[in-house]
């Protein structure tokens, strides 16, 4: 009776027909499993399967990436990344000593028979009735996996233990038999999809009749091509194939997997393990058991699964982070923006006006009195000046506001060029927000600069001497004229030569002095105008930089920051997890998970 109490009995399907030679202790309850698992995790400090820093660094980078992107990307775009982070956090809190492997397949493929063969005891129902497996059934080779099974929502009544034989070989394995993925019942297919998203690895069981089924390849194998390193593809029922037909079917299966983008673990390369066997006769099952045992003992499947999930999430986000070319604003674009603002604020016109003002002051100071009097008379006689021929009407010229808006659009398009759509939109929005009030600010700058320019002295040090020389020429003319008049009226003795010479010197000398002064002020006037133009241009450029370029640069810096996080997420630094199934370098192989190269970053290949 004592021996019978110790013997394991699930009460449902499988019962041990005869007592084992060495009776095993009774299996622990669910609560004992949880307690044991917690004690193991606390003693280890860190789950063995996640001891490598690479996957943790990538998950941290993905978490930061999601946080930085919430204001730029919608929730739908970040949903898959959020799901991966949630599932990764849940998996890392559970046992790293166990590897959860699902056995999936189509109706009649023999997956339940293979499940029972691996467990060496009939745990899952087999037969002609379809569907045979209606709910996931788990077989656990060692203690401490209760938390993992709770995560899979497998109730205690569907949790099994194998025979004692083979426990050492597959220690740490949690094998889950799934319902048929092509079941006619929707709830069965939903259970398959739910569990496949949570397990560490999967064994796909196909038969000679359905191995090329489009539903299997298009719905599962092709989308999960990036998970090749945690995938076993088993061609079952080879006992039904005569002669070399099994090898031919196996080669065709490999061809289909290659077309799906799933890397094959051949010649020492990392990828899916493809085997042929017969679960009914046992042919090839030992090879699968050996490969599965080595895979489980590596204890890296969970980290590989998380890495593949991160690859897939990163691949889905690639369009939101990877630019199509060189991004940002170069010095030429900034200078062009400053030139456009200077044109809008009228820096050239202000410089020309300042230069004309300088010349006008020079003419007033150094010109002959008679010429200035004549010019004054002309201005009084013709108060309105005719328009310059060929000048466009004022209404056809773009206004300052239009020029500012055009300048902002141009620099925003230049900054957004090559950026992914969300970040290009963010850059344009930052430019538009910053440009609000920019025309008014530029008008204030122009008025202030004009006022400051008017306060600056317009007379160089040599102007008093020129004014004195021009006054002397005028006095000579007046003195010579009065002398001639005095001779005419008889006040002075006659003698026309000397007074006429004085008048001639004054008449000729006045224009000469004016001409010399005009030539002398040409350079200073030009420099004065250029200085006024430069000051106004710099003021306009500073205003544009503060209101437009700085917000745009802030968005570009934010994009560069998330792009660096994205590069970390894609795993540009190769992380070796060890084991014969290869190293994870974050590129995810082919198919849905890769390649994930980033423009501007160097990635390491295999």
Question: Dihedrals φ, ψ of 100, to 5°?
Answer: -95, 120
Q: What is the four-CA torsion angle of 537, 539, 542, 548, rounded to 10 degrees? A: -80
Angle at 370 between CA 486 and CA 359, to 5 degrees: 150
CATH fold, domain 98-298, is: Rossmann fold (3.40.50)
Divide the 606 residues of the chain into consecutive groups of 10 and give the mean pLDDT of each group.
37 34 38 40 46 80 91 88 93 92 92 88 59 80 92 91 70 92 88 94 94 92 93 94 91 94 84 92 92 92 93 90 80 87 81 74 66 69 52 50 88 88 90 87 79 62 69 76 76 74 74 71 75 84 89 91 91 44 35 36 35
Cβ-Cβ contacts under 8 Å for 205 (sequence gap 6 or more): 103, 104, 105, 109, 110, 111, 114, 234, 236, 279
3-state percent helix, strand, coil for the chain, nearest multiple of 5: 60, 5, 35
Cβ atoms 14, 121 nearer than 8 A:
yes
Cβ atoms 439, 548 nearer than 8 A:
no
Q: How far apart are CA 411 and CA 212, in angstroms?
A: 54
Cβ atoms 98, 198 nearer than 8 A:
no
Cβ-Cβ contacts under 8 Å for 430 (sequence gap 6 or more): 551, 552, 554, 555
Comparing CA positions, the residue from 359, 368, 367 lying closest to residue 521 is 359
Beta strands in 33-128 (DSSP E): 99-105
The answer to whether the predicted template modeling score (pTM) of the entire model surpasses 0.85 is no
String of DSSP letters for 515-544 = HHHHHHHHHHHHHHHHHHHHHHHHHHHHHH
- The encoded tokens of residue 409 equal 């659009």
Specify the 3-state DSSP secondary structure of 393.
coil
Q: What is the pLDDT of residue 460?
A: 65
Strand pairing class (273-276; 173-177): unpaired
Range list for CATH 3.40.50.300 in the chain: 98-298
Cβ atoms 257, 133 nearer than 8 A:
no
């Amino acid at each position: 009776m004592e021996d019978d109490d110790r013997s394991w009995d699930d009460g449902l399907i499988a019962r041990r027909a005869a007592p084992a030679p060495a009776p095993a202790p009774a299996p622990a309850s669910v609560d004992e499993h949880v307690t044991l698992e917690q004690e193991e995790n606390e003693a280890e400090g860190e789950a063995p399967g996640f001891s490598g820093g690479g996957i943790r660094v990538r998950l941290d980078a993905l978490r930061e990436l999601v946080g930085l992107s919430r204001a730029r990307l919608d929730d739908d775009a970040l949903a898959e990344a959020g799901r991966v982070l949630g599932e990764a956090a849940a998996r890392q809190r559970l046992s790293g000593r166990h590897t959860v492997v699902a056995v999936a397949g189509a109706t009649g493929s023999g997956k339940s028979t293979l499940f029972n063969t691996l467990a060496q005891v009939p745990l899952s129902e087999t037969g002609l009735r379809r569907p045979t497996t209606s709910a996931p059934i788990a077989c656990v080779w060692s203690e401490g996996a209760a938390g993992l099974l709770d995560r899979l929502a497998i109730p205690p009544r569907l949790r099994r233990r194998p025979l004692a034989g083979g426990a050492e070989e597959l220690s740490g394995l949690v094998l889950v038999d799934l319902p048929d993925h092509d079941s006619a019942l929707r709830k069965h297919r939903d259970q398959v999809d739910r569990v496949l998203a949570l397990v560490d690895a999967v064994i796909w069981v196909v038969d000679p009749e359905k191995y090329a089924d489009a539903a299997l390849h298009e719905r599962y194998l092709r989308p999960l091509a990036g998970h090749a390193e945690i995938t076993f593809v088993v061609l079952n029922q080879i006992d039904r194939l005569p002669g070399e037909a099994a090898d031919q079917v196996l080669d065709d299966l490999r061809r289909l997997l290659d077309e799906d983008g799933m890397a094959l673990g051949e010649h020492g390369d990392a990828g899916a393990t493809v085997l042929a066997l017969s679960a009914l006769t046992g042919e090839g099952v030992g090879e699968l058991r050996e490969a599965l045992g080595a895979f489980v003992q590596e204890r890296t499947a969970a980290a590989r699964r998380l890495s593949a999930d991160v690859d897939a999430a990163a691949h889905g986000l690639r369009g939101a982070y990877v630019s199509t070319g060189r991004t940002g604003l170069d010095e030429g674009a900034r200078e062009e923006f400053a030139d456009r603002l200077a044109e809008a604020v009228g820096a050239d016109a202000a410089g020309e006006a300042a230069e004309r003002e300088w010349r006008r002051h020079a003419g007033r100071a150094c010109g002959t009195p008679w010429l200035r009097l004549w010019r004054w008379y002309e201005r009084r006689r013709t108060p309105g000046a005719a328009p310059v021929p060929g000048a466009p009407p004022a209404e056809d010229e773009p206004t300052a506001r239009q020029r500012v808006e055009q300048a902002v659009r141009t620099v925003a398009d230049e900054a957004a060029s090559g950026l992914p759509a969300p970040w290009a939109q963010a850059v344009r929005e930052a430019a538009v927000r910053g440009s609000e009030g920019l025309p008014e600010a530029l008008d204030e700058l122009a008025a202030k600069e004009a006022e400051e320019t008017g306060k600056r002295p317009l007379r160089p040090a040599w102007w008093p001497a020129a004014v004195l020389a021009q006054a002397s020429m005028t006095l000579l003319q007046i003195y010579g004229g009065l002398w001639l008049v005095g001779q005419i009226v008889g006040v002075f003795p006659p003698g026309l030569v000397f007074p006429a010479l004085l008048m001639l010197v004054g008449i000729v000398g006045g224009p000469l002095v004016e001409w010399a002064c005009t030539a002398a002020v040409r350079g200073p006037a030009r420099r004065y105008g250029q200085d006024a133009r430069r000051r106004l241009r710099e003021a306009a450029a500073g205003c544009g930089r503060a209101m437009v370029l700085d917000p745009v640069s802030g968005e570009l810096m934010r994009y560069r920051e998330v792009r660096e996080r994205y590069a970390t997420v894609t795993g540009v630094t190769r992380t070796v997890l060890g084991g014969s199934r290869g190293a994870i370098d974050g590129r995810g192989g082919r198919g849905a998970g890769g390649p994930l190269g980033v423009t501007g970053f160097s990635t390491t290949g295999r």
